[in-house]
Amino acid sequence: MAIRTTRRTRLAGAAVAVVAGLVCAPSVQTAAAGEPAARHCAVDAQSGQQRCFGTFTEAVDRATGGRITDAPATPQAAVESRTFRAQISRIGTRAEGDAGTAGDVVQGTFFDEEGFSGDSLTITGPELCEKDGWINWQHDLADDWKNRISSVQPWANCSIWLYPEPNLGGDRDGPFDENTADVGQMMNDRTQSIGFS
């Protein structure tokens, strides 16, 4: 597969190269009535390393390199928390004082159910999006996340574009500039790659 080599899309090569060796340690917790508990994963788009946890709090801790250790236990609670939204939006900014720490600027969180529920995938990148009209970063989803996304939360000044094929292929949908509880019919359970602009 050909990978673009521009700065704006350099993350694709690393993410695609590591997909086959993806490290994922899903939780074995179960919910009431014997149903599996939601799995919350964090993936570094540069290295492709993915880790999964039993709580959203643990996934955010991992995704932020330990800068946010007290995130709400569920994504639904995080949507309602002004404190959490302020914390996560500040990561990577000059105001934070340590901008540029690779792999822990949260660019977006994705959910396999509408309303920010079910399993979650938090994707981190090296810096904030530039909002310059171009795709700054891209991520091809691992097999366990293809064709599952139903709701999204953009972070790090990013707009999210969803694509039905790997490497930003096919007709895209977006931009999703704010928390979107339902991505709509066009891309619901059809996303295979994500562009951050």
Q: For 40-53, what is each residue's pLDDT tens digit?
A: 999 998 888 999 99
149-178 in b/e form (b: 16+ CB < 10 A) is bbbbbbbbbbbbbbbbebbbebebbbebee
pTM of the full predicted structure? 0.78
How far from 189 is each of 81, 116, 120, CA to CA, in Å? Answer: 27, 14, 14
Compute the Cα dihedral for 22, 8, 116, 122 and give only its sign. Answer: positive
**Residue 11 in tokens:** 């993350």
Positions of the chain with pLDDT under 70: 1-36, 94-103
Residue 186: the pLDDT is 95
Question: What's the CA gap between 162 and 195, in Å, rounded?
Answer: 7
Indicate the CATH number for domain 7-27+36-94+101-196: 2.60.20.10
Q: By the 8 A CB rule, do 113 and 151 touch?
A: yes
Place of tokens 């574009």: 161
What residues pair up with 42 in beta bridges, in sequence order?
51, 122
For the chain, the structural domain boundaries read 7-27+36-94+101-196
Q: What is the pLDDT of residues 150-192, one digit of tens each?
A: 999 999 899 999 999 999 999 999 999 999 999 999 999 999 9
Q: Considering only CA atoms, which of 131, 186, 132, 143 is closest in space to residue 163? A: 186
d(CA 71, CA 64): 11
